[in-house]
A and B are shown apart, each in its own frame.
Chain A
Amino acid sequence: MVAQQIAFGVTAFAMAVGAVRVVTTKNVVHAALWLMLVLAGVAANFILLAAEFVAVVQVLVYIGAIVVLFLFGIMLTRAPIGRESNLDNSMRPLSLVVGLLIFGLLASVLAKQWGRVHLHTANVQRTSDVAQSIFTQYVVPFEAVSVVLLAALVGAVVIARRD
């Protein structure tokens, strides 16, 4: 329990720093790399919650595919690789207010509603339970998601194609 607490503290701190750096850094490539740190922290949190299959999918899909896709996007749109001063628009102070308000609102509601609720780590959801759930109760949404992915891939090729 203590080890879990320490692991959570370390990953949560890294993720908080990473998230702030993603939205404030002056370097686009560094933003993608900080995003990778946050995504790895999310995968670590899934492990802590005993959701090992989701953690592996997170690493494969997010860190393996999506971050690489982002780096390709940065290179193809020829963003300046070095520091750049005008990455933020003029609404920055207002956006900061909105972000802080959202966090304050969520934090107050969560503290009120889920103040001292403990997670029971004894009963773990196994990957076989997840598979059982996907292929019985949620098989229709699962097939719908695969069609959505196919449509999105074809759509992306059609949109980005030169003709």
Chain B
Amino acid sequence: MLLNEYLFLAAFLFAAGVYGVLARRNAVLVLMSVELILNAVNINLVAFGAFRNSAVGQVFALFVIAIAAAEVGVGLAIVLLIYRNRRSIDLSEVDVMRG
């Protein structure tokens, strides 16, 4: 197997995630796109770990999974708070701090 096949797949997931973060209005959909980006990174970490014959790639992938779980928990709590205050999770309406 070529290493590049995994790297290309991860690059595609990353690009799709970036598009989702930029183009979506619904806050929950933006968080889902962030998950796509994090999974792309995980594929890269494990693929390079296998390539370099080292367990460190898998260790870092596990760390990323743990941080992603924390991120989703806090992120959804913030989204719920925004919904409770504004009755909407449309991100283009959340512009109180716009200069």
Residues of A at under 8 Å CB distance from B?
A: 1, 4-5, 8, 12, 15-16, 19-20, 22-23, 28, 31-32, 35, 38-39, 42, 45-46, 48-51, 53-54, 57-58, 61-62, 65-66, 69-70, 72-74, 76-79, 86-92, 94-96, 98-100, 102-103, 106-107, 110-111, 114-121, 123, 125, 129-130, 132-134, 138, 141-142, 145-146, 148-149, 151-153, 155-157, 159-160, 162
A/B interface sample: 20 pairs, CB < 8 A: A23-B23, A38-B13, A51-B46, A61-B66, A73-B79, A73-B80, A87-B24, A88-B23, A88-B25, A89-B23, A92-B23, A103-B11, A106-B15, A117-B2, A123-B53, A134-B62, A145-B67, A153-B70, A156-B74, A160-B76
In contact, A38 and B36 (Cβ under 8 angstroms): yes
Q: Smallest Cβ distance from A94 to chain B, in angstroms? A: 7
Q: How far is the CA of A61 from the CA of B64 in the complex (A)?
A: 11
Q: Which of B1, B33, B54, B58 is close to A8, meaning CB atoms less than 8 Å apart?
A: B1
Q: Could you tell me how many residues of chain B have their Cβ less than 8 Å away from some Cβ of chain A?
A: 71
User: CB distance B25 to A86 under 8 Å?
Assistant: yes
